[in-house]
Amino acid sequence: MDAFMMIQRKKVTIFTDAKDNILVHELKKMISRILKVAPQNQQLFYKDEIMDENKTLSDCGLNATIAKAQSPALVGLALRMDDGEFEPLELIPYSSPPELPYVMKNQETNGQEPPM
């Protein structure tokens, strides 16, 4: 089954899907084709734990029941720095749109009063 993922590093986000029985190393290869960064220079995180590249996505907790198309699983990505160490994981949250003005909220309900 397909596991849908949102791979995020700083302000970069990659949406992808993969079979949940592939190795984490194969996912790193997919990322390397997009970002042009070798798999050995990538570190993936799921639920604040480093993903072992010799395990399958399912072994790491990513499967089709958890990582759905409408709510993909968040996978963190850290890259190796020049000194050989991996950078700290940094996920920059998206900004939220401002709240709608009252006048526009009425338009969403087509001018009807909300039910009480």
Q: What is the DSSP string of 64-100?
A: TTTS-SSSPEEEEEEEB-TTSSBPPP-BPPPPPPPPP
Taking every pair of Cα atoms in the chain, the longest distance, rounded to a whole number of angstroms, is 62
Per-residue pLDDT tens digits for 2-24: 999 999 999 899 999 999 999 99
pLDDT band at 107 (very low <50, low <70, confident <90, very high): low
Domain 2-79 has CATH 3.10.20.90: yes
State how far the alpha carbon of 28 is from the alpha carbons of 60, 94, 116, in Å: 14, 24, 52
CA-CA-CA-CA torsion sign (40, 31, 7, 13): positive
The pTM (predicted TM-score) of the whole model is 0.77
Q: What is the pLDDT of residues 60-81, one digit of tens each?
A: 999 989 999 999 999 999 999 9
Per domain, the residue ranges of the chain are: 2-79
Tokens of 61: 């907790």
